[in-house]
Structure 1
Amino acid sequence: MPTGVHIRDVREQLFGAAERVLLRDGANALTSRAVTTEAGCAKGVLHRHFADFDAFLAELVLDRTGRLGAQADALHRSAGTGTVTGNLAGALTELFGPVAVAVVALITFRDGLRARLRDAGSPGVPLLTEATAMIAGYLAAERERGRVAPGADVDALAPALVGAGHLLFAARGGAPPDAEEVRRTVAAVLAGALPG
């Protein structure tokens, strides 16, 4: 796209392009040139809107992580309905879509990105940290309803579920596990935490 042509919603166009490159070609191939080529715009467009490429990637990660709020609200509203195992299996399946798995890999791949995210106040690995808080909050709500054992350590169960879920989805090379495998994994992590 020639310089001077107006691009509507540049951030979303560039973020979408970055996701497509990341999913198709992996973290190694994610460069500013690859993103702007995929977006169909001049390379300078990215640098007019972001200080540098790591700043762009940090904004991408924070934007995508911010979208977990709606999922957290939905999971919390599901407390007391369905089954705890089923609700969590569904939440993990929604959480670990291909983009989320690729974003976690990107964060671990790029030192500069991790530094930017820490500077932005994002502890741990963004997405995984927020997912852990989301699941801990849900488990606490279920514990209050008596659907999780009173002595269950939800702050230990939540990262165990997120870690098991991430490994389950990341090990597939893009093909998600079937629903029964996710349910079995959640049930195994929660063994002993659910009342008889």
Structure 2
Amino acid sequence: MPTGVHIRDARRQLFDAAERVLLQDGPNALTSRAVTIEAGVAKGVLHRHFPDFDAFLTELVQDRIARIDGQAAALRESAGTGTVAGNLTGALIDLFDPVAVAIVSLVIFRDELRVRLRRARPAHGIPVLAEATAMIASYLNDECEMGRIAADADVDALALSLIGVGHLLFAGREDAPPEIGAVDTVVTTVIADVMQRRLL
């Protein structure tokens, strides 16, 4: 693309291109050149908007984390409605879409990216997964307060379990995501104890 052509929302265009490269070729293939080729823009466009490629990747991941913040609000609004297992199953399916799974791999793969993300959003654990865990824990806490799970439920441990098993279910599946029934079975198993004890 000629350098004099104005690009509307270049950052979004570059983020979308990076996500396509991640999905098609994995984190090893994600370079500034691959992103700009996929976006159909001159290489200088990326460097006009970001100081370096790791700064670009940091904002790409933060963009995904912002989506998790939106998902967290929707999940908390669902507390007290439907079933706890159904709400959690839907949340895990939304959370672990192919782009999110690829971004988690990217974060694990690139040390400098993890360092920058921790500077931007100090938290324990792997960025993206840490925010996802906090999302599930907040929801479970709301359900606990409503009496839909046991009052003494360890919501932090449950959230870690659900995110860990969720990531294992969805990662490394190039063919297709797991079926809803498989996700629901795992969720139901993880929360079975706190669901049963709420009735005691």
Q: Which stretch has the larger CA shift, 171-180 or 9-18?
A: 171-180
**1:140 — aligned with what?**
141
**8 Å CA contact 2:114, 2:127 repeated in 1:** no
Q: Which amino acid in 1 is paired with 2:53?
A: F
Q: Which amino acid aligns with 1:170?
A: A
What CA distance in whole angstroms lies between the structure 2 residues aligned with 1:73 and 1:114?
Answer: 25
The more displaced of 123-132 and 48-57 is 123-132
Deviation at 1:48, TM superposition (A): 1.2
**Greater displacement, 158-167 / 169-178:** 169-178
Change in Cα spacing, 1:95 to 1:56, as seen in structure 2 (3 Å) is: same
- Amino acid across the alignment from 2:107: I
- Find the counterpart in structure 2 of residue 149 from structure 1: 150
Find the counterpart in structure 2 of residue 16 from structure 1. Answer: 16
Partner of 2:31: 31
Aligned to 2:180: 179
Which residue does 1:128 correspond to in 2? 129
1:1-196 correspondence to structure 2 within 5 Å: 1-123=1-123, 124-194=125-195, 195-196=198-199
Q: Deviations over 1:66-111 (max 9, x none)?
A: 1112211111111111110010000000000000000000000111
Q: Distance in 2 between matches of 1:19 and 1:122?
A: 24
Residues 40-59 of structure 1, C-alpha deviation per residue, up to 9 Å, x if partnerless? 11101101111110110000
Indicate the larger mover: 135-144 or 110-119: 110-119
Runs of 4+ displaced beyond 3 Å = none
Q: CA deviation at 1:174?
A: 5.0
Q: Which amino acid aligns with 1:126?
A: P
Bigger mean CA deviation after superposition, 147-156 or 67-76: 67-76
SS in 1 for 2:194: coil
CA distance in 1, matches of 2:144, 2:73: 17
Q: What's the TM-score, normalizing by structure 2?
A: 0.95
Q: Percent of pairs identical after alignment?
A: 66
Amino acid at match of 2:158: L
Structure 2: 5+ residue runs without aligned partners?
none
Structure 1 alignment gaps of length 5 or more: none
Once the two structures are superposed, residues 6-45 of structure 1 have per-residue CA deviations (whole angstroms, 9 ceiling, x without a partner) of: 0010110000000000000110110000000001111011
How far is 1:187 from its partner?
Answer: 0.9
SS at match of 1:28: helix
Q: Tell me, in whole angstroms, the C-alpha distance in 2 between the residues paired with 1:10 and 1:62.
A: 17
Amino acid aligned to 1:4: G
State the AA in 1 paired with 2:146.
Answer: R
Q: Say if 1:44 and 1:98 are closer, same or farther in 2 by CA, change over 3 A.
A: same
User: For this pair of structures, how many residues does the alignment match?
Assistant: 196
Q: In 1, Cα distance between the equivalents of 2:8 and 2:180? A: 38
